[in-house]
Amino acid sequence: MRGISILLKLLLLVTMIIATMVNSVPLNYGDALTKSILFFEGQRSGYLPASQRMTWRKNSALKDGSDIGVRMDGGYYDAGDNVKFHFPMAFTTTMLAWSVIEFGDLMGPDLQHAIEAIRWGTDYFLKATKDPNVVIAQIGDPNSDHGCWERPEDMDTSRKTYVVTTSKPGSEVSAEIAAALAASSIALRKSDGRYSRALLLRAKLVFDFANNHRGSYNDSIGDGACPFYCDFNGYMDELVWGAAWLYKASNDKTYWNFVKSNIQSLGSLSEFGWDSKHAGINVLISEVSVTSQRVMNDPSNQNPFILNANNLICSLLPNSPTKAVTYSKGGLLFKPGSSNLQHVTSYSFLLIVYARYMQVNHKTINCGSVVAKPTDLIDLAKSQVNYVLGNNPLGMSYMVGYGLKFPQKIHHRASTMPSIDVYPKHIGCRDGDKYFELQSPNINQLTGAIVGGPAEDDSFQDSRFNVSQSEPTTYINAPFVGVLAYFKQSKS
C-alpha cells in the first residue's frame, strides 16, 4: 500500500510539473501582434481590396445606405453579427489610433497593417459625416439581423440606415466619431499629411454637431441602439473624450477649456470601454500634464486628471486597499458583465500608457500603504496579456489561431459557414443554422480574434451558444494591438 501511495504522489508531482510547463509556455508577442491586426480584415464590410489577406471573406453589404440615397459601403462588423454599430466601431478606431500613436514605432512591419486598419475605419466615417447636419449612426436592423444566421456576403436582412440629426441628436455616437477622426489624424500624420488634415477638420465639425445639438442616440434611434449598444453612462463622457482628442490633435485651447470645465461633471471615473470613456480621458489628459515635472511631483497640485488617473491605478492593483475589481484564481482581472476580456485589454492598455508617463517623470503612486511603481503597472498588464495568450489554468490561448490550443467554435457567422469560394450558392436566413449547430470546429479560422474569455472560475465553454465567452469583438482587439506592440519590444 505504501508503494502505491508513493507512486500516486509521484504521478501527482509529474502532473503538476506538466501543468506548470503547459501554463508557462514562452510567448511570442510579435506573432500575437501580427494576428491581432489581421483579425480586422475578417471584420471588413464593403468592397475588399486586392491586398486582403483573410481571403475567405468576400465583398459584402455593397448597397448599404441606398435606402437614404447615400453610399455607405465599408466599415467594420463589430462582432459575430452583420450589423455596423457605429458607436463601438468609432471607439475601436480611436483605440487603434491611440495604439499607433503610443506604440507605432515598436510595431515594425505590422505598422503598415495597423494604419490600414485605421483608415478602413476613417474612410467610412468620412462618408458617415459628409452632411454637416447629419451623422449616420448605424447600418442594419439588429433585430432582423439577429433573427438569421447568414454570411455577410449573403445578407437579405434589413439594412436600415439610422441617422441622428439636429432635431434627433446623438451626441455620444457623434462625439466618439469625432474622437476617432481626431486621434486618427495624429496617428496618420506622418504617413499622409493631407489626409490627416482632412480628418482633423472633419473631427472639429462633427464635434460641434455633437456639442451644439445635445441628446442621446438611445432616444433618437430607439431599438436600433438598445438593448445592443445602449449608452448607459450619458453622452458627456464622449463629449469630453472628443474634446480631449481634439486638443491633443490641434493644441487649440478651446478644447482644453472644454475638458477642464466639464471633467468634474463625469460620474464613475474607473470605467473604460465602448460605453464609458472616463478612465481613458484622465490617462490621456495626464500625458499633457506630466510633460511638466513640477506638475507631477508638486504635492499641492490639484490637477484632477492626474488624481483621477492615480485613483484608477489604485482601483486595479491586486494588493491595493482600494481595489475595485476582482481576480480569478488564475490571475485574470474581472468586472461585472459579459465579454470580460474587453476590460482586460482596455485596462492593460491604460496601465502601460500611464506607466510610461510615470517613468518619464520618476513618479510613484500611493494607494494607502501600498506604493505603486511604474514596473508594478507593467507587471500587472503583462500578467493579463500572458493569461490571454495561454499562461492560464487551462493552458488555452483566447486568441484564435495563436498557440496550440485556442477556441475552435466561436460565435461568428462568417467563420462558421463555408466561403463563397467553396460554396457559391446563396445561404438563406435560417439555412446557416445547421452550421451553427455543428459540434465540429468553425469552417473558417478568424485568425487573431480575441473572444469574450473565460468565466471567473477560469473555466471556458468552447461553444457558439455561449455568446459571452465565445464571441470576438473589434473593441476587445483594438487596445491589445498597442499592448502587444509594447511587449514585443519591452525587456520588462
Nearest to 82 by CA among 135, 52, 43: 43
Write the CB contacts of 148 (distance below 8 Å, at least 6 apart in sequence): 157, 428, 429, 430, 432
pLDDT of residue 380: 98
Annotation marks residue 73 as catalytic: no
Q: Which residues of 71-92 are buried (b: 16+ CB within 10 A; e: fewer)?
A: ebbbbbbbbbbbbbbbbbbbbb
Cell of 126: 468620412
Tell me the C-alpha distance between 274 and 229, whole Å. 9
Task: Give the integer Cα–Cα distance in Å for 98 and 156.
Answer: 36
d(CA 142, CA 42): 20
Q: In the prediction, which pLDDT does 303 show?
A: 76
- With vertex at residue 126, the alpha carbon angle to CA 122 and CA 128, rounded to the nearest 5 degrees, is 110
Average pLDDT over residues 250-273: 90
Of 61, 364, 379, 90, residue with least CA distance to 210: 90
Tell me which residue of 174, 144, 143 sits closest to 156, measured CA to CA: 144
Residue 458 known to be catalytic:
no
The pLDDT tens digits of the residues spanning 374-385 come to 999 999 999 999
What pTM was computed for the model? 0.93
- Residue range 173-221, pLDDT digits in tens: 999 999 999 999 999 999 999 999 999 999 999 999 999 999 999 999 9
Q: Tell me which residue has cell 475567405.
A: 56
Q: Which of 220, 187, 165, 28 is nearest to 118 (CA)?
A: 187
Q: What is the mean pLDDT of residues 320-337?
A: 96
Q: Is there a contact between 389 and 480 (Cβ–Cβ < 8 Å)?
A: no
**Residue 266: what pLDDT?**
83
Cell digits of residue 397: 490561448
For 50-91, write each residue's pLDDT tens digit: 999 999 999 999 999 999 999 999 999 999 999 999 999 999
Which residue has cell 469630453?
A: 240
Q: 514605432: which residue's cell?
A: 105
Average pLDDT over the chain reads 92
Identify which has the larger pLDDT, 384 or 305: 384
Looking at the DSSP bridge assignments, the partners of residue 163 are: 136
- What pLDDT was estimated at residue 450? 98
- Of the listed 123, 379, 456, 462, which one is catalytic? 462
290 pLDDT higher than 60: no
The pLDDT of residue 109 is above 80: yes
The closest of 68, 182, 213 to 118, measured between CA atoms, is 182
Residue spans of beta strands (DSSP E) within 11-126 = 84-85
For residue 304, give Cα distances in angstroms to 126, 285, 324.
34, 10, 20
231, 271, 376, 471: which one is catalytic?
A: 471
pLDDT confidence of 7, banded at 50, 70, 90?
Answer: very low
**Would you give the DSSP letter of residue 46?**
B
Q: How far apart are CA 135 and CA 221, in angstroms?
A: 12
Give me the catalytic one of 113, 213, 411, 412: 411
DSSP string, 403-426: SSS--SS-S-HHHHS--TTT--S-
Catalytic residue among 41, 81, 145, 237: 81
Nearest to 83 by CA among 99, 93, 69, 72: 72
Please say if 113 is a catalytic residue: no
